[in-house]
Amino acid sequence: MDEQAVIDTFFRHLGAVRTDVVLGIGDDAALLRPEAGCELVQTTDVLVEHVHFTPGSPPRSLGHRALAINLSDLAAMGANPCWALMALTLPNIDEAWLAEFAHGFGRLARVHKVALVGGNLSRGPLAITVQCTGQVPAGRALRRSGGHAGDELWVSGTLGDAALGRTIGERDGENADTQWLRSRFEYPTPRLELGAALRELASACIDVSDGLFSDAPRLAASSGCGVWLDVEQLPVSQAARTMTGTAVWQHALAGGEDYELCLSAPAKEAPRLQALAAQHAVPLQRCGQLRAEPGLELRRGSDVIQFSLSRFDHFSP
């Protein structure tokens, strides 16, 4: 199977069909028709074998994750997803692998009405690069920089699951807890509907990709603030608690790749946020507050505690 046959078989009709795609896969570039009164929101991310996933990882999961991590960025901006480009580098043509990969990508794309409108295919070490474009009403995008001292910090879903799921092996057995944690790593859920609804309530927002210990201070610093977090208020799943016991809060802080939303909002918005969580069936947990003093402070109730962690960096020694 040559390059053109791969494109025609697996990717030409992958994803949603959208009327705002004037010209999709098959030409030198795509032609798209943005909505009047909207701003475009663009993001890109890459999954590299041996860095973001191990050899032999399920291709259906890789297809899902490659799109989901980009959609999570759009969710954090309050954007509605529209179009995607994909650059796929493959060591060889494996039709069974490609079919599973396309299934994972296409299913999530159709759920969120994303059209795959172009990309690139080449030979090399396995790497998947996806670029997504969404739209948001002009002037209403969520940013990291809108928070104020005194705003409360909230987190969607549960934290630490994906990092635990990534490390589960045969020694951990196969049960409801290990299945849940593994699925949280292999099939993350981008909080797009919640993100769009938060445009009316949140002062700032970021997606939790590198762990709350890293991402909450990023939001705070962008807003010219510091932040404190109460480790007893971090949202954790029963599966994570069963696996880690009293150390569960450490995993919730340090674990990455959960792709939940961390947001700040004035205290008066708490009832509306709780109502929003119920409406969208997504847990929202208040776990801290922005403050005027810079930096991150960890608390357990009224006590200040110490916790040290080397933040993830692709190019750290």
Low-confidence ranges of the chain (pLDDT < 70): 170-172, 309-317
* 44 DSSP β-pair partners: 131
The pLDDT assigned to 312 comes to 52
The pLDDT assigned to 296 comes to 97
Question: CA-to-CA distance for 222 and 143, rounded, in angstroms?
Answer: 9
Question: CA-to-CA distance for 226 and 120, rounded, in angstroms?
Answer: 42
Question: CA-to-CA distance for 277 and 261, rounded, in angstroms?
Answer: 12
Is the C-alpha dihedral spanning 54, 58, 61, 67 positive or negative?
A: positive
The pLDDT assigned to 316 comes to 55
Residues of the chain with CATH 3.30.1330.10: 3-137
The pLDDT assigned to 260 comes to 98
Lay out the sheet containing 80-90: strands in order across.
Answer: 38-48, 127-137, 80-90, 115-123
Residues of the chain with CATH 3.90.650.10: 144-302
Question: CA-to-CA distance for 251 and 184, rounded, in angstroms?
Answer: 14
CATH 3.30.1330.10 is right for the domain spanning 3-137: yes
Q: How far is CA 103 from CA 44, 96, 132, 163, 217, in A?
A: 20, 11, 18, 24, 37
The pLDDT assigned to 310 comes to 57
- Fold adopted by 144-302: Phosphoribosyl-aminoimidazole Synthetase; Chain A, domain 2 (3.90.650)
Output phi, psi for 112, to 5 deg.
Answer: -105, 15
Q: Which residues of 189-222 are buried (b: 16+ CB within 10 A; e: fewer)?
A: bbbbbbbbbbbebbbbbbbbbbbbbbbbbebbbe
Question: CA-to-CA distance for 71 and 52, rounded, in angstroms?
Answer: 17
The pLDDT assigned to 168 comes to 86
The pLDDT assigned to 314 comes to 53
Amino acid at 86: M
* Residue whose entry in the numeric block shows the structure tokens 């990309």: 119
The pLDDT assigned to 173 comes to 76
The pLDDT assigned to 283 comes to 96
The pLDDT assigned to 174 comes to 87
